[in-house]
Amino acid sequence: MRAYHAEHQRSIEQPNAFWKEQAKRIPWFRLPETILSHDEQNHARWYDDGEMNTCYVALDHHVESGRGEQPAIHWDSPVAGQRRTLTYREMRDDVARFAGALASLGVGKGDRVVIYMPMVPEALIAMYACARLGAVHSVVFGGFAAHELAVRIDDAEPRVVIAASCGIEVDRILPYKPILDQALAQSHHQPTACIILQRDQARAELGDRDHDWQGLVSSAEMVDCVSVRGTDPLYILYTSGTTGKPKGVVRDNGGHAVALHYSMDRIYGMKPGEVFFSASDVGWVVGHSYIVYAPLIYGCTTVIYEGKPVKTPDAGSFWRLISEYRVKAFFTAPTAFRAIKKEDPDGVLLKNYDISCLRTLFLAGERLDPPTFHWLDDLLKVPVIDHWWQTETGWPIAANLQGLDPMPVKAGSATVPVPGFDVQILDRSGEPAAPGEQGSVVIQEPMPPGCLAGIWRAPKRFHGAYMAAFPGYYLTGDAGYIDQDGYLFVMGRTDDVINVAGHRLSTGEMEEVVGSHTAVAECAVIGIHDDLRGQVPLGLVIPKDGFDGDIDMLERELVSLVRDKIGAVASFKQVLVVSRLPKTRSGKILRKLLRTIADGEEFAMPSTIDDPASLQDVQETMVHRNVGDAHKARLS
Ligand code: COA
Ligand code: AMP
């Protein structure tokens, strides 16, 4: 039996023994005796009676055990023209002082703190300072608009909000403070204070409840780590679901630290002291787990990159960073490499850098499409590893485990379930699917440590969204299959979630925004294929009876409405006004069929369609407006 199979089997058959052993790898104030327990709804909780502090595990412990002078972070910002390295000791001290500043504003154990910051070291300092106090942070991605920030503020009810004065995009400075002010004007909940990190690129005007980061820190005392239980929450991270209201995924402290530590060893094959570079954003789960927490929990150095894969200044940026910081493992989303490939198809810029330090490339956030896999495989000559996971799980569900038992790579597959995850494929009736047969990808309970502990203050929603469809199994929302060799292929979502440039977005939410326009009678938003971003949203709109306004103007208004309400990151750039939409006889819009047509695939006329001519109408409009590959779509 392969080492992988033995470890996976043990993790599933003896979860208590397996995760008890793994727990010993991190420093606890009180080692847990209860390993696996269950909450009121019978879902798994880990290490309930353990006492620890995530900030202690990631910073203080390493300083105490001799890693104080090792770099903890390398910050590199081509857009700000700055870079900075902080050792573990410097990071620990900065965090302890900022935690003191937060405490002086009344933040304590269990309080929430919303963080709205770009890729700057202070974002990590703020997150760790919350962890140090036992407070719960909720980081909101900088590409989200004021409305989205307001929704999260109302749900998390933070005592304090921390923001930077601005973010920096390729071609523009983005002042954050006006967005924060606008969000607070919309939200019912009001924090008692805001802390603003002033950046020279756009300094913010401060109001009565605003504090300047530097000013606050200069008078703050350093504070120590507060002891929390293994099951106490570390953070809330909002993610898109099928409705307009994002889900606040809650992560605990103990299981999270143990799972991330395990993953750095077994999945990423890292050694403490090495450099790990994940090019994502602190606003996403990849940023939380593999920029902020896992590398430091494991004693590695993490690279924080404030820039893009291309245009800051060119498509060689990643190669430069890997070479300069001697990166051993690099992790990003396939879309980033599609952007690089577009600008530098032959990888000419790579020749300017020595990246012999790079051992492995990891990709996630969306399926690693075979053409991008082959391009990278030919260019880099190191293992190119696709691995699959979600905000909810917080760490990979399926991977090719580089530190345990590397396996031959199959293009298009995320390889095998990670120990701890009992992945299965179920058909519509909940029966196991045969090898090679596509179905719903589910995880049999108990989910391993590190996975979501619930939805913030919404236990019913948690149950309904993930646990109700197939009792005893967690529904991932992805479709896929397992082949004869046990390799998992994850093919796409089964719900209204789309993946735009590695960013998870809800078409349901976009429909709510589009539908709120006074001239719109009905609408559908679908995710269609895009060569660079994987998917992009397309809006289809029926105006209200009697609408006699300018159609171009309406389309433009809807594009800017989504940009204003959700944010630029939605990449909602195309709307088509149509006279009817294809529906079933019971009135359900045939969204999947619309997507099939936009992507130029063969389609069958559903027997349930109410008005077959409506389909032809929409296809004609799509062809006329050059949508995707609609001109290739054929009725079978
Ligand atoms: N703050 C403010 N605005 C942001 C933002 C942020 N943090 N991130 C993106 N945006 C804006 C962009 O400026 C862009 O605005 P525009 O419509 O005015 O041009 C819009 O949101 C769409 O952004 P994006 O889809 O990221 O497009 P892009 O052209 O800036 O970059 C890629 C394209 C592929 C290079 C980029 O998306 C990328 O690097 N993706 C990798 C994603 C990733 O790491 N995902 C995490 C999972 S691992
Ligand atoms: P997020 O919660 O933002 O990490 O998005 C999670 C979703 O992205 C998953 O449910 C998948 O639909 C998709 N995804 C992430 N990684 C992969 C991958 N390696 N292969 C296929 N889909 C992926």
Query: Which of 504, 506, 535 for mutating ligand 2's site (highest number of atoms within 8 Å of CB)?
Result: 504
Q: Is the CB of 365 under 6 A from ligand 2?
A: yes
The CATH number of whichever domain residue 578 belongs to comes to 3.30.300.30
Distance in Å, CA 393 to ligand 1 centroid: 23
CA of 366 to the centre of ligand 2 (A): 5
Judged on CB neighbours under 10 Å (0-12, 13-18, 19+), 60 is buried
Taking the CA of residue 480 as reference, the ligand 2 atom at the shortest distance is 21
* pLDDT, position 42: 86
Q: Residue 274, CB half-sphere, CA atoms under 13 Å: how many? A: 19
| Closest ligand 1 atom, residue 172 Cα | 13
The gap from C-alpha 629 to its chain's centroid, in whole angstroms, comes to 29
Ligand 1: centre distance to CA 254 (Å): 32
Nearest C-alpha neighbor of 133 from the set 154, 148, 153, 113: 113
Please list the alpha-helical segments (H only) found in 119-211: 121-133, 146-156, 177-186
The per-residue pLDDT for range 55-110, each reduced to its tens digit, is: 999 999 999 999 999 999 999 999 999 999 999 999 999 999 999 999 999 999 99
Indicate whether 371 belongs to any domain.
no
Candidate of 306, 341, 390, 569 to mutate for ligand 1, largest count of ligand atoms within 8 Å of Cβ: 569
Tokens for 21? 């052993």
pLDDT in tens, 339-388: 999 999 999 999 999 999 999 999 999 999 999 999 999 999 999 999 99
Check pocket membership of 477 for ligand 2, CB cut-off 6 A. Answer: yes
In a domain, 627, yes or no: yes
Sheet with strand 384-386: strands edge to edge: 82-87, 71-77, 301-305, 275-278, 327-332, 360-363, 384-386
Token duo for residue 58: 């990631």
* Residue minimizing CA distance to atom 8 of ligand 1: 143
Give the residue whose CA is nearest to atom 32 of ligand 1.
336
Strands 439-444 and 136-139: unpaired
Residue 591 has pLDDT above 80, yes or no: yes
The structural domain count of the chain equals 1
Instruction: Choose the residue to mutate in 79, 141, 149, 169 for probing ligand 1, maximizing ligand atoms within 8 Å of C-beta.
Output: 169
CB 176 within 8 A of CB 167: yes
Locate 140 and state its tokens: 């909101």
pTM, two decimals, is: 0.96
Which of ligand 2's atoms lies nearest the C-alpha of 392?
A: 2
Q: Give ligand 1 pocket residues (Cβ under 6 A).
A: 118, 142-143, 167, 169, 174, 279-281, 284, 286, 308-310, 332-333, 335-336, 339, 364-365, 501-503, 533, 568-569, 571
Nearest CA to ligand 2 atom 23: 366
Atom of ligand 2 nearest to the CA of 286: 4
Q: How many helical (H) and strand (E) elements, i.e. helices and strands, does the chain have?
A: 20, 34
Q: Which residue's alpha carbon is at the smallest distance from atom 13 of ligand 2? A: 366
Q: How far apart are CA 530 and CA 599, in angstroms?
A: 9
Q: Residue 51 and residue 192: Cα distance in Å, rounded? A: 30
Question: How many Å apart are CA 573 and CA 4, to the nearest integer?
Answer: 45
The per-residue pLDDT for range 224-278, each reduced to its tens digit, is: 999 999 999 999 999 987 777 889 999 999 999 999 999 999 999 999 999 999 9
Tens of pLDDT, residues 393-422: 999 999 999 999 999 999 999 999 999 999
Q: pLDDT (tens digit, 9 = 90+) per residue, 454-489?
A: 999 998 999 999 999 999 999 999 999 999 999 999
- The Cα 35–Cα 50 span in angstroms is 9
Mutate to test the pocket of ligand 1, among 308, 340, 344, 504 (most ligand atoms within 8 A of CB): 308
Instruction: List all residues 6 or more positions away from 50 whose beta carbon is below 8 Å from its beta carbon.
Output: 23, 28, 30, 31, 32, 34, 229, 230, 254
CB 338 within 8 A of CB 532: yes
Question: Strand 634-635 vs strand 520-530: parallel, antiparallel, or unpaired?
Answer: unpaired
- The number of the ligand nearest the C-alpha atom of 285 reads 2
Nearest-CA residue for ligand 1 atom 6 is: 143
Look over the chain and give the mean of its residue pLDDT values, rounded to a whole number: 96
Say how many CA atoms lie within 13 Å of 400 toward its Cβ.
Answer: 21
Q: Which ligand is nearest to the CA of 305?
A: 1
Of ligand 1's listed atoms, the one at least distance from the Cα of 570 is 22
Q: Which atom of ligand 2 is nearest to the CA of 492?
A: 12
Residue 47 lies in a domain: no
516: containing domain: 501-632
Mention every residue, 6+ apart, whose C-beta is less than 8 A from residue 178: none
Distance 501 CA to ligand 1 centre (A): 7
Residue 171 CA, chain-centre distance (Å), reads 24
d(Cα 99, Cα 97) in Å, to the nearest integer? 5
The DSSP secondary structure of 585-597, one letter per residue, reads TTS-B-HHHHHHH
Distance (angstroms) between ligand 1 centre and the Cα of 536 equals 12
Report which ligand 1 atom has the smallest distance to the Cα of 119: 7
Q: How far is the CA of 344 from the centre of ligand 1 (A)?
A: 19
pLDDT digits (tens, 9 = 90+) for 20-35: 999 999 999 999 999 9
Q: Please give the distance, rounded to the nearest whole angstrom, from the Cα atom of residue 340 to the centre of ligand 2.
A: 21
Q: Which helix H or strand E contains 260, and what residues bound it?
A: helix 254-266
CA of 533 to the centre of ligand 1 (A): 10
In the chain, what's the furthest Cα-to-Cα distance?
A: 74
How many Cα atoms sit within 13 Å of 388 on the Cβ side?
28
In this predicted structure, what is the pLDDT of residue 530? 96
Tokens 């490939």 label which residue? 341
Tokens of 489: 């292929």
Tell me which ligand sits closest to the C-alpha of residue 247. 2
Dihedral sign computed on CA atoms, order 559, 562, 565, 568: negative
Tell me the per-residue pLDDT of 162-206, one tens digit each, with 9 for 90 and over.
999 999 999 899 999 999 999 999 999 999 999 999 999 999 999
Q: Cα separation of 280 and 274, whole Å? A: 19
Give the residue from 434, 443, 436, 433 showing the smallest Cα distance to 410. Answer: 436
Give the model confidence (pLDDT) of 492-513 as tens digits.
999 889 999 999 999 999 999 9
Residue 493 CA to ligand 2 centre (angstroms): 9
Which ligand sits nearest to residue 241's alpha carbon?
2
Phi then psi dihedrals of residue 328, to 5 deg: -95, -40
CB atoms within 10 A of CB 469: 16
Give the percent of the chain with pLDDT over 70: 100
Give the closest ligand to the alpha carbon of residue 318: 1
| Residues with Cβ within 8 Å of residue 421, at least 6 apart in sequence | 393, 397, 398, 443, 447, 448
Please name which of 339, 341, 319, 340 lies closest in space to residue 330, comparing C-alpha atoms. 319
pLDDT on residue 385: 98
Question: Is the CB of residue 366 below 6 angstroms from any atom belonging to ligand 2?
Answer: yes
Q: Is 386 a pocket residue for ligand 2 (Cβ < 6 Å)? A: yes
CA of 569 to the centre of ligand 1 (A): 6
The burial class, CB within 10 Å (0-12 / 13-18 / 19+), for 197 is buried
Element (H, E) at 507: helix 507-515
In angstroms, the CA 104 to CA 578 distance is 57
| 133: in domain | no
- Tokens 């590397």: give the residue: 406
User: Measured from the CB, is residue 139 less than 6 Å from ligand 2?
Assistant: no
Nearest Cα neighbor of 154 from 245, 76, 240, 217 is: 245
Going by pLDDT thresholds of 50, 70 and 90, the confidence category of residue 434 is: very high
CB of residue 499 inside a 6 A radius of ligand 2: yes
Q: Are 506 and 243 in contact (CB under 8 A)?
A: yes
Extended strands (E) in 419-467: 422-426, 439-444, 454-455
CA distances from 315 to 83, 207, 344, 352, 438 (A): 19, 41, 7, 12, 37
Q: Where are the alpha helices (DSSP H) in 292-445?
A: 294-297, 317-324, 334-343, 370-380
pLDDT band at 41 (very low <50, low <70, confident <90, very high): confident
